[in-house]
């Protein structure tokens, strides 16, 4: 395992933009021989295999955990002076506490020029590399396509009163309410609350499964990626973006005192590259990279990168309270 680098050394490596950048990163990575990455899931495995094929002299060690566990672990390690983590693949919301604890190093990658500016954290602490979108989904056996709601305003129609459901996952529900607050205002949220929407204490994926079974016919809190996977297997589902939709993202970030910063920057470049984004696309995720295969199918989706908002934590707390007040009353 490489020795932790000083913050100044990591900063210089992370922001090097000379013509020798690639050669410099590869030479340093050969000395480091590998790196440690913290992430939440198994979706990353095809990316790791692709990276190691391209750089066979490097090995990526992955440590997994929940978003909360990873943030807590990183804060504890830096608090006691332990510097072993090189980089993160984590949601922007999960990276906020880590950033605010001064654990992340802003970086520059030549791949960033191909990304939507909104997908890059304003101070360059992270870049979104995979994304899904929460929108309206419905059971096509129960609701014909021509009658299905196509906008947020359509959800207020009397015919949908008592027929809708939403995920009770705090992040999904609160980000949905936040999107409505940003695009329609609090009065609209309260009017929607009078539509007697049933809240299910489960993830959007589980709620989509109930929709496939016919127990639920309509929900505005379903991910497009879940619907696409299910439709490919013959499920009677359809999905639409009713307007601007919240992006559920995963981003890459570099640790401030990374022991293997050269190798970590090569991974970041690879995940952001055309090849890396194509692998994410094969897993069903959208992309913020212009020209990516999955980007073409998402051109009609208006995306809100709410996790990149400068005061997100305060806003999220307010949205969560409004969600509880409006949709969980009594």
More confident residue, 2 or 205: 205
pLDDT per residue over 257-312, tens digit each? 999 999 999 999 999 999 999 999 988 899 999 987 655 445 578 999 999 998 99
Residue 283's pLDDT is: 86
2: pLDDT strictly greater than 80? no
Task: Output the pTM of the full model.
Answer: 0.89
Residue 297's pLDDT is: 45
4: pLDDT strictly greater than 70? no
Quick count: other Cβ atoms within 10 Å of Cβ 186? 13
Residue with tokens 């913020």: 288
Residue 36 to residues 33, 64, 286, 307, Cα–Cα distance (Å): 11, 11, 25, 25
| Pick from 210, 214, 238: nearest CA to 145 | 238
pLDDT per residue over 12-55, tens digit each? 999 999 999 999 999 999 999 999 999 997 789 999 999 999 99
pLDDT per residue over 66-115, tens digit each? 989 999 999 999 999 999 999 999 999 999 999 999 999 999 999 999 99
| Pick from 155, 168, 171, 247: nearest CA to 201 | 168
Average pLDDT over residues 179-188: 97
């Amino acid at each position: 395992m490489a020795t932790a680098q000083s913050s100044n050394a990591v900063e210089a490596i992370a922001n090097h933009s000379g013509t020798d950048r690639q050669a410099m990163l590869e030479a340093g990575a050969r000395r480091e021989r590998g790196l440690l990455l913290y992430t939440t899931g198994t979706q990353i495995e095809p990316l790791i295999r692709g990276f190691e094929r391209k750089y066979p002299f490097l090995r990526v060690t992955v440590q997994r955990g929940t978003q909360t566990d990873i943030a807590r672990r990183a804060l504890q390690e830096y608090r006691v002076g332990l510097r072993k983590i090189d980089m993160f693949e984590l949601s922007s919301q999960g990276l906020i506490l880590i950033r605010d604890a001064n654990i992340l190093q802003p970086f520059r990658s030549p791949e960033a020029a191909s990304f939507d500016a909104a997908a890059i954290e304003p101070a360059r602490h992270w870049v979104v590399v995979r994304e899904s979108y929460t929108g309206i989904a419905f059971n096509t056996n129960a609701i014909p396509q021509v009658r299905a709601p196509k906008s947020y305003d359509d959800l207020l129609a009397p015919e949908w009163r008592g027929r809708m459901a939403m995920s009770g996952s705090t992040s999904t529900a609160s980000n949905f309410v936040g999107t409505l607050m940003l695009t329609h205002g609090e009065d609209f949220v309260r009017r929607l609350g009078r539509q007697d929407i049933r809240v299910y204490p489960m993830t959007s994926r589980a709620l989509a499964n109930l929709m496939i079974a016919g127990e639920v016919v309509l929900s505005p809190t379903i991910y497009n990626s879940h619907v696409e996977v299910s439709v490919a297997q013959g499920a009677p589902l359809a999905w639409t973006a009713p307007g601007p939709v919240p992006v559920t993202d995963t981003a890459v970030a570099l640790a401030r005192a990374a022991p293997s910063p050269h190798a970590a920057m090569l991974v970041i470049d690879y995940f952001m590259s055309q090849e890396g984004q194509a692998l994410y696309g094969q897993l069903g995720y959208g992309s913020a990279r212009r020209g990516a295969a999955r980007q073409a199918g998402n051109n009609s989706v208006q995306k809100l990168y709410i996790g990149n908002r400068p005061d997100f934590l305060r806003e999220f707390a307010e949205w969560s309270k409004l969600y509880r007040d409006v949709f969980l009353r009594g």
